Amino acid sequence: MTSLILRMAFLLLLALPAWAQEKDYAATLPGLAGGFGEIAGAVERLGALGDPRALPVLQALQEGKLLKAGDGHVLVPRGAGYADAATGAPADPAGAEPVRLNNRVRQALRGALGRLQLVSPDAVERGAAAEAIFRSRSAEDVPLLQAAIGREQDAGVRARLELALAAAQLVAPDDSVKRDAIARLGAAGTVEARALLLEARAAAPALAGPIEAAIARIDQSLAIRRAAETLFQGLSLGSVLLLAALGLAVTFGVMGVINMAHGEFVMLGAYATFAVQELCRGIPWLAPWSLPLSVPAAFLVTAACGALLERGLIRHLYGRPLETLLMTFGVGMIIQQAVRLAFGAQNREVISPSWMQGTITLPGGVAVTQNRLWIIVFGLLVLALVFAAIRLTRFGLEMRAVVQNRRIAATMGIRTGRVDAMTFAFGSGLAGMAGVALSQIDNVSPNLGTGYIIDSFMVVVFGGVGSLAGTLVGALTLGVVNKMLEPYAGAVLAKVFVLVAIMLFIQRRPKGLFALKGRAAES
Amino acid sequence: MSATLASPPPAGSGRLTLRLLMLGAVLLLAVLPALNRLPADSALHVSDFIVSVSGKWITYAILALAIDLAWGYAGILSLGHGAFFTLGGYAIGMHLMRLIGPRGVYGHPVLPDFMVFLGYKELPWYWLGFDHFPFALLMAMAVPGLLAAVVGYLAFRSRITGVYFSIITQAMTYALMLAFFRNDMGFGGNNGFTDFKELLGMPLNTPTARSALFYASLALLVLSYALCSRITQSKLGRVLVAIRDAESRVRFLGYDVTRHKLFVFVLSAVLAGLAGALYVPQVGIINPGEFSPGNSIEAVIWVAVGGRGTLVGALLGAFSVNALKTWLTTVAPDLWLFALGGLFVAVTLFLPRGLIGLVSKVAK
Amino acid sequence: MSDGLSPPLGAARDAASVLYLDGVSVVFDGFRALNNLSLIVGAGELRAIIGPNGAGKTTMMDVITGKTRPTEGVVRFRDHDLTRLDEATIANLGIGRKFQKPTMFDALTVFENLELALKAPRGPVACLRWALSGEARRRIEAVMEEVGLTARSRDRAAILSHGQRQWLEIGMLLMQDPELLLVDEPVAGMTDQETEHTAALLVRIAGRRSVVVVEHDLEFVRALGSKVTVLCEGSMLSEGSIDHVQNDPRVIEVYLGR
């Protein structure tokens, strides 16, 4: 019995603030129809009440759309007409005039709106509210923020609320609260927290010790995050190099054919992507899938070109690498000029599908762009494809047999000419797939390939000719090293340094990172 | 393969014909500036265009000789010889910039216009000395030579040969292009150097300067040819051919292959640098675009078209391909790249010994 | 000593020894091409080396001439540690090599090939300034006479027959005037008469220099009349006179197979 009473009393206690709030809300509204001082007071009270109904009222006030009727009622716009702010009943705006603002009211509004948005059901609004409170920080917001943090489900919003709370606590009178806030800001490890601490150091010299420690901690975590972001950018550049170099790893690494038109095959792949996009444009349900469709299309187009090039020209020059180099360079020029005449010299735009756009934030605040992330994934998938093709298929077996001993392979009934053509077509097709990826991050223009060809050869030479693992490690290393040098040397000098470094590296390991050893490597 | 490339020494009468033809060609070139001075309505008058274009081609021919010495004889296919040529050009370009003096747009007594524009307060240290012509000329040889020595030493010592060396030299010229495009390198960024006023007291763009530069180029061509043929006919020439055809065998005979290759590569780079130094005052401009890998490989194809491994072939190729280029880029500019690409394909597939090979085949 | 199954390795090196290999191993990716091989060749000695395919004969020559670096072991030529020197330096110390597959410069004439091999300053500038002296010409002509190529002096090496190429390479070896000659399968592709001639030539050379001959042709080895070393799986299997090794049961088992 007693427990029942207690429970009822408890429930009543919970309901009481709501009831009180209800009364206060209605009682506060007329203040908005008064002078500037009264308006500012009413705004602050409404903000402190935390009643969701106050939100549209204050928003209308901020936009200058709140009307005051002569009798102290205020009207908010609703749909095409107006409603009484206290009762919600439709009202006639005739004779009512807008509530005017001054700077004091505006300031009060910002704080109040911030607090009210904290209870909004929309996470974006709550995040914006946390941001607003962070900027207008005052010690009075502390309980409000603590309550909001308790309710908050969204991790991102919660982090921003915590930051706002720490900011508010930094201006609190109590030193122990400040120390606590400083420690938490140090743990947050963001640029904003660092700025806040610097500000607090100037304001409270007594706390310089803990503040310095917290800043040092932030600097450390910022450094780690920067390193992680550099690593990501490096991996992303590395996977672009990987994609461009994988085809070379097959044609140059496995077959020993040096194809200077490889860059042009990459470019053709990018144009194939553009062409597929244009074809899909007219078919609404197909349009979002044009990029995935481009992958096989680009592969087939460039593989066909590759087969044609190998059968038509390259095969007559086997065993004469320097001539092959010059000849394929000429073929590259012809392809480039043909594309320039066919598609024009200007850049063509390939649109990224929506699922590849935007940025995502990894734990720890590392921001990565979606398209770069997809290119890393794509690069690894293509690597897996190449590995599988070489190691697990009949074609791969025949290819390896022909490479190792052409004459014996022929006597075993392998049609070596066909294997050569298919291998070269495969490598060229890989170039086309690289072109699909490049169309997402680079300008699709006739000289797209020239920028990548030298880098890809460097990858293959650095990694070790004929080794897929070498190509992977070589590409990623070059990508990461390039990006690591960039902050110090700038993009161009970084590239120059990397080229010089590769030349010096080849001094120590002339056959690259993953050199083939033994008799097979001698020839 | 090597057997088809090697050129048997032309028989006695063939060699004589060849020498007479070359002498004739040199004399023909030598009278061009004189014919240019004739009145415009004279039947023998040669236009300014012809004189300046042939002057330019002569420097190209020197570059072709340099490439042929390294590639045709020693088997070192450099796809970065344009870099040596351009560096030589930049060295003389720096001298020409210093000579502008206060006549620049900004009228600064020492600094070239682009430095004033970029807010330089004083001349960078590496511009010192370039106001003296002998120093600039020395640098036009020393800088390419030194670069070739470093790159060549690193590559030859670790036995980087064939296409690997080609790719590395291509990367070298590519890296230089990227570097020279930067404004803070102090070489005028992507605009390079231009608006030259004078050289050795001669105002440029006058008939006197044109013919002086023309004769200087022709003299250098004759000297380079003499030097190259002295080398190729000596035992060194035979060692180089041996290195080209069977490098490791030469080592087992006790020759230090690295030193021989380095010798010929550096010499070749110095020749290319000198050619570039004569090229720039004739065309009146130098910019980083000259470093583009495409330029170097185009020069290689001159040699291939003419016939590598023969010095005459290099000259023939440089003149004929450039004549084709000049003609085609005026009548059908879109076709030029197709023609050039086609030349690469045709020469490698059907004419491994180039036009010279074709001529000697027809002669038989 | 000559009938011993193995040379006295622990003993101090013979002052007269020219080539000294001790405990030499070469490992390619786990495959032991040479396995703890030891060999001593004395001054003026003629030594024949035989063994089945893959026994390590060519690898041994590669190690001596600096083409391949041993994984472990000592390789000395007189007082020089060959494991630290490059091919050209080793060649200039006085070690000449004839390859299994005749290798010369096809674009050059027979005379020019011999001229390149002639012992003379090897630097680029020296080559540029080189003028053929009367004495050098006489030496080249004498060697051409010796190897029977006088009539082909002005022909390019590319058009020689296989036997003539063998001779030209032997001629180049003679021009180098080396202290130690390594001769890999000199009589492959030669007629019987030429084989006899070659054997006589090598025996004659051996008086003044050391010669190591790798050969499959047992009749030829018998004609050399020298000490024979049998290699198998990268190690020495047997050593002694030709009759000795031909009767060695281990040799019969792995090599002669009879």
* Beta-sheet pairing, C235-240 with C227-232: antiparallel
Mean pLDDT value across chain C: 82
pLDDT of residue A221: 83
C30 HSE (CA, 13 A, CB side):
1
Least confident among A250-264, A289-303, A335-349, B21-35: B21-35
Shortest CA distance to A193 belongs to which of A224, A229, A218? Answer: A218
CA distance A241 to A479: 7
pLDDT of residue B12: 52
Cβ partners under 8 Å of residue A480, min gap 6: A230, A231, A234, A235, A237, A238
Residue B253 and residue C128: Cβ atoms within 8 Å?
no
d(CA B179, nearest CA chain A) in Å: 7
Read off the pLDDT band of A365 (50, 70, 90): low
pTM of the predicted model as reported, rounded to 2 decimal places: 0.79
Q: Which residue of C has its CA nearest to B240?
A: C124
Shortest CA distance to C210 belongs to which of C113, C97, C52? Answer: C97
Q: pLDDT digit string (tens) for B40-72?
A: 777 777 777 888 888 899 999 999 999 999 999
pLDDT reading at A59 higher than 60 = yes
pLDDT reading at C116 higher than 70 = yes
Residue B164 and residue A492: Cβ atoms within 8 Å?
no
Q: Which residue of C has its CA nearest to A516?
A: C29
pLDDT of residue B69: 93
Q: Which residue of B has its CA nearest to C128?
A: B236
d(CA B128, nearest CA chain C) in Å: 34
CA distance C1 to A138: 104
A80 DSSP 8-state letter: T
**C156 and chain B: CB distance < 8 Å anywhere?**
yes
With tokens 């690898």, the residue in question is C59
Read off the pLDDT band of C6 (50, 70, 90): very low
Q: Which comes out higher in pLDDT, residue A113 or B86? A: B86
Q: pLDDT digit string (tens) for B85-116?
A: 999 999 999 999 888 878 878 878 888 888 88
CB atoms < 10 A from the CB of A381, how many?
Answer: 12
**B70 and chain C: CB distance < 8 Å anywhere?**
no
Helix, strand, or coil (residue A92): coil
Q: pLDDT digit string (tens) for C147-164?
A: 888 888 888 888 888 888
pLDDT reading at B125 higher than 60 = yes
Residue A41 CA, distance from chain mean position: 44
CA distance A520 to A523: 6
pLDDT of residue C1: 37
pLDDT reading at A12 higher than 70 = no
Q: What percent of chain A has pLDDT over 70?
A: 90
- Which of 458-517 (A) contact C at CB < 8 A? 517
pLDDT of residue A308: 92
Residue B235 and residue C128: Cβ atoms within 8 Å?
yes
Architecture field, domain C17-256: 3-Layer(aba) Sandwich (3.40)
pLDDT of residue C4: 38
pLDDT reading at C11 higher than 50 = no
- Which of 453-512 (A) contact B at CB < 8 A? 454, 457-458, 461, 490, 492-493, 495-496, 499-500, 502-504, 506-507, 510
C48 HSE (CA, 13 A, CB side):
26
CATH number of A224-522: 1.10.3470
Least confident among A344-358, C161-175, C192-206: A344-358
Question: Taking CB atoms and an 8 Å cutoff, what residues of chain B touch C156?
Answer: 3, 6, 8
Q: What is the CA radius of gyration of chain A?
A: 34
Q: What percent of chain A has pLDDT over 90?
A: 11
pLDDT of residue A298: 92
CA distance B300 to C255: 54
pLDDT of residue B120: 82
pLDDT of residue B291: 92
Q: Chains contacting A with at least 3 CB pairs below 8 Å? A: B, C
| First CA to last CA distance, chain B | 21
Tell me what the mean pLDDT of segment A23-33 comes to. Answer: 77
Question: Taking CB atoms and an 8 Å cutoff, what residues of chain B touch C105?
Answer: 238, 241-242, 245-246, 249
pLDDT reading at B123 higher than 70 = yes
Tell me what the mean pLDDT of segment C212-216 comes to. Answer: 86
Please check whether residue A327 is in contact with residue A313, taking contact to mean a CB–CB distance below 8 angstroms. Answer: yes
Tell me what the mean pLDDT of segment A220-240 comes to. Answer: 85
3-state secondary structure chain C: CCCCCCCCCCCCCCCCEEEEEEEEEEEECCEEEEEEEEEEEECCCEEEEECCCCCCHHHHHHHHHCCCCCCEEEEEECCEEHHHCCHHHHHHHHEEEECCCCCCCCCCEHHHHHHHHCCCCCCHHHHHHCCCCHHHHHHHHHHHHHCCCHHHCCCEHHHCCHHHHHHHHHHHHHHHCCCEEEEECCCCCCCHHHHHHHHHHHHHHHCCCEEEEECCCHHHHHHHCCEEEEEECCEEEEEECHHHHHHCHHHHHHHHCC
pLDDT of residue C258: 45
**B301 and chain A: CB distance < 8 Å anywhere?**
yes
Read off the pLDDT band of B277 (50, 70, 90): very high
Q: How many residues in chain C? A: 258
Tell me what the mean pLDDT of segment B277-284 comes to. Answer: 92
Q: pLDDT digit string (tens) for C26-57?
A: 888 778 888 888 888 888 888 888 888 778 88
**A341 and chain B: CB distance < 8 Å anywhere?**
yes
pLDDT of residue C257: 56
Shortest CA distance to B66 belongs to which of B220, B178, B197, B200? Answer: B220
Q: Can you name the residues that pair with B202 across neighbouring β-strands?
A: B199
Shortest CA distance to A300 belongs to which of A273, A279, A261? Answer: A273
Q: pLDDT digit string (tens) for B231-261?
A: 998 889 999 999 998 888 888 888 889 999 9
pLDDT of residue B144: 96
**A326 and chain B: CB distance < 8 Å anywhere?**
yes
Tokens of A179: 């120390």
Helix, strand, or coil (residue A85): coil
Q: Which comes out higher in pLDDT, residue B7 or A231? A: A231
3-state secondary structure A431-478: HHHHHHHHHHHCCECCCCCHHHHHHHHHHHHHHCCCCHHHHHHHHHHH
Q: Does the structure's ipTM exceed the value 0.90?
A: no
Q: What are phi and psi of C100, to 5 degrees?
A: -60, -50
**A518 and chain C: CB distance < 8 Å anywhere?**
yes
pLDDT of residue A267: 93
Shortest CA distance to B353 belongs to which of B81, B1, B76, B67? Answer: B1
pLDDT of residue A87: 78
Helical (H) or strand (E) element with A81: strand A81-84
Read off the pLDDT band of A408 (50, 70, 90): confident
Tell me what the mean pLDDT of segment C82-110 comes to. Answer: 87
Tell me what the mean pLDDT of segment A204-213 comes to. Answer: 75
Read off the pLDDT band of B13 (50, 70, 90): low
In the sheet that C72-77 helps form, which strands lie side by side, from edge to edge? C31-42, C17-28, C72-77, C80-81
In the B/C pair of chains, how many CB contacts fall below 8 A?
91
Q: pLDDT digit string (tens) for A253-276?
A: 778 888 889 999 999 999 999 999
Q: What are phi and psi of A269, to 5 degrees?
A: -60, -40
A72 DSSP 8-state letter: S
Residue B238 and residue C108: Cβ atoms within 8 Å?
yes
Q: Which comes out higher in pLDDT, residue C98 or A92? A: C98
Read off the pLDDT band of A425 (50, 70, 90): very high
Tell me what the mean pLDDT of segment A496-522 comes to. Answer: 65
Residue B6 and residue C117: Cβ atoms within 8 Å?
no
Ramachandran sector of residue B10 (left: φ over 0; alpha: ψ -120 to 50; beta: rest): beta
Cβ partners under 8 Å of residue B253, min gap 6: C91, C116, C117, C172, C176
Tell me what the mean pLDDT of segment A341-347 comes to. Answer: 85
Tell me what the mean pLDDT of segment A379-397 comes to. Answer: 88
Question: Which residue intervals of chain A bear CATH 1.10.3470?
Answer: 224-522
Alpha helices in A87-151 (DSSP H): 103-117, 123-135, 141-151
Cβ partners under 8 Å of residue A317, min gap 6: A323, A324, A327, B348, B349
* Beta-sheet pairing, A81-84 with A74-78: antiparallel
Residue B249 and residue C103: Cβ atoms within 8 Å?
yes
Q: Which residue of C has its CA nearest to A521?
A: C28
Residue C74 CA, distance from chain mean position: 19
Please check whether residue A336 is in contact with residue A446, taking contact to mean a CB–CB distance below 8 angstroms. Answer: yes
**A319 and chain B: CB distance < 8 Å anywhere?**
yes
Please check whether residue A157 is in contact with residue A127, taking contact to mean a CB–CB distance below 8 angstroms. Answer: yes
d(CA B176, nearest CA chain A) in Å: 8
CA distance C140 to A40: 114
Question: Taking CB atoms and an 8 Å cutoff, what residues of chain C touch B244?
Answer: 107
CA distance C217 to C224: 11
Mean pLDDT value across chain A: 80
Least confident among A95-109, B79-93, B317-331: A95-109
Closest in B77, B159, B341 to A330, CB measured: B341
Q: How many residues in chain B? A: 364
Delimit the domains of chain C by residue range: 17-256
Q: Which residue of A has its CA nearest to B183?
A: A492
Question: Taking CB atoms and an 8 Å cutoff, what residues of chain C touch A519?
Answer: 28
Please check whether residue C128 is in contact with residue B234, taking contact to mean a CB–CB distance below 8 angstroms. Answer: yes
CA distance A237 to A481: 10
Q: Which comes out higher in pLDDT, residue B17 or C24? A: C24
Q: What percent of chain B has pLDDT over 90?
A: 35
d(CA C33, nearest CA chain A) in Å: 10
Q: Chains contacting C with at least 3 CB pairs below 8 Å? A: A, B
| First CA to last CA distance, chain A | 98
C-alpha triplet A107, A113, A118: angle, nearest 5°: 140
